[in-house]
Structure 1
């Protein structure tokens, strides 16, 4: 069953909109951004390679920007060793080589680090992907310290817009750390991190953090605690009345029903989500799984197939495809042929980083 991640209502994942805040003076940045948003990661590698070979990158921040896109693309294509090699070409990210004031003639009047936050984040993730978990976690916690240091600076300077941006970054880093600890079933650490964040000024993110807290409480069998957290989320949604929060409430209710194996009620909650927002991928996926538990394979397959047909840019992900292929295997004798048809369609429409092996052909 797919869970919700913490969501602030704005895109905070650097792998989704990686360089929205980078210096617009970088050459052809809009083109790189467009390729990233379309998932054209191989094209990004080609563009970076060409720019480097033609010596188009003239200023220090140009090199950092293009290296960031290159590392991002390599990571998306699961070429983590190559991404690591790129990162190893860098010196200390906090060193003078990557500060504007080191180049006063190039950046008159500017000071501070020119390292994109996305690059710092990927710098933490790559060691984990290569099996060096402790190194990656150390980097993540150091990055969290840096983010909180910046937050304190913004609070003292009353810079509200910048404060919100760094708060979103704090949320991203903590959610990344929580995700790693969850994989290793280190639930107490996860609870401490979320409760610490909830105790501060979350700038309107409380509902999603409380939901994350509730999901972890369910993981450890604290049903009453989860219900309490979800109840607080419902109170927030009643005040704000947004579709996103209303769907969050419904998905939370569905999870409680699932714990009690009340799949019919869970389906009803997911259907309400889909009526409010037909692109709610979590609700679509989980409704299909509930129908499968109810032994209604035909309808569960239809739910996923219809979602891929109507909103492929939202619902085409490995989790949904794995579930759909599992249903094919249960429902059809000729499932190999059906999965091949699906795989051929995916090859035409999926972004470069889609893992086609999830069809298990």
Structure 2
């Protein structure tokens, strides 16, 4: 697994916050009642049309189309997301710096504008904006600032969770999901610097908080991945065994069943038993033809078995049958690497792939992944 990239289902946190939370409640009849043309922004974000979002935000600002304070924050959030997706990080930081004295300034509170928000209290800052406030420093070389801000965000989320639990007698599911997102972001940053001990502590703490069975299975899988990074193969097998037990006992979705097979396949891959790994990944694909983790890793296993022809077919078929799911940089890097290994005249093939990607890919796709 040192030659090519392996996709794992750790997911970039940014994908999880690609659409800001709505700053007002569900009393509104439509998204556009909550914020000027919010449904249009949301649709553009879902389609990956980040350049169009930048144009739309610029037009709304120039023509003074935003009438309420929270609308400015929502549009600011979309603008920063778009700049971040397009890897224009310095510009995103400049946008973020337009927040006066930080995200928790009183001027961003509902009670500061009683004429617009009678009987509403608290911050109007979307959670996505808070996540970006934490993440962006790392994109311009300040990793420690990002880690510090994420820990502060974690404290903020846990305070909100405690308030909802005290008021309702149970933790608000939204805030529990956000807690998981923030912790996963923190884990990702620690993993990138091989700080495995901290990652283990964070995951074990989450598991102790008695999550739902499905959430517990996901956490145990991540625990197993980290144990593998530490060389603790037996520990990883034990963690993956817990996952399989949970899935066997619960009425779960296909994705959770596939998680079990992918875990088994990883163990086989570490042991260089690629034939068995292919079998596990194929079982995932038979259940869900859009499982790109299984598709990508099956292709890698076939390559390690010196079957370049079939490994290329696996990836090409996925790009043809499930382009929306399969079109990511890691997938394309792997395919182009296989072209380079399989064909003398690989440049023409990669150029054809690059031209197709240019027609169908979202704005944030990194076209350099084709290495044309």
Shift of 1:245: 1.1
The 5 A counterparts of 1:1-361 are 1-5=6-10, 13-15=16-18, 18-23=19-24, 24=31, 25-91=34-100, 92-158=102-168, 163-204=172-213, 205-242=215-252, 243-361=254-372
Moved over 6 A (4+): none
Residue 36 and residue 56 in structure 1: after superposition, are their counterparts in 2 closer, same or farther (change >3 A)?
A: same
* Larger mean Cα displacement after TM superposition, 235-244 or 170-179: 235-244
Q: How many angstroms apart in 2 are the aligned matches of 1:102 and 1:311?
A: 48
Shift of 1:6: 7.1
Equivalent residues of 1:230, 1:252 under 8 A apart: yes
Shift of 1:19: 2.4
Q: How many angstroms apart in 1 are the aligned matches of 2:22 and 2:71?
A: 14
Q: How many angstroms apart in 1 are the aligned matches of 2:353 and 2:250?
A: 40
Equivalent residues of 2:21, 2:127 under 8 A apart: no
Gaps (5+ residues) in structure 1? none
**TM-score of the two chains, using structure 2 as the length reference:** 0.93
2:27 maps to what in 1?
Answer: none
Shift of 1:58: 1.1
Equivalent residues of 1:124, 1:136 under 8 A apart: yes
Aligned residue for 1:333, secondary structure, equals coil
Aligned residue for 2:344, secondary structure, equals coil
Q: How many angstroms apart in 2 are the aligned matches of 1:225 and 1:2?
A: 22
Q: How many angstroms apart in 2 are the aligned matches of 1:89 and 1:324?
A: 42
Q: How many angstroms apart in 1 are the aligned matches of 2:56 and 2:188?
A: 33
Aligned length: 355
Shift of 1:157: 1.6
Equivalent residues of 1:12, 1:168 under 8 A apart: no
Gaps (5+ residues) in structure 2? 1-5, 25-30
Equivalent residues of 2:285, 2:291 under 8 A apart: yes
* Larger mean Cα displacement after TM superposition, 205-214 or 151-160: 151-160
Residue 35 and residue 63 in structure 1: after superposition, are their counterparts in 2 closer, same or farther (change >3 A)?
A: same
Residue 276 and residue 241 in structure 1: after superposition, are their counterparts in 2 closer, same or farther (change >3 A)?
A: farther
Q: How many angstroms apart in 2 are the aligned matches of 1:170 and 1:249?
A: 24
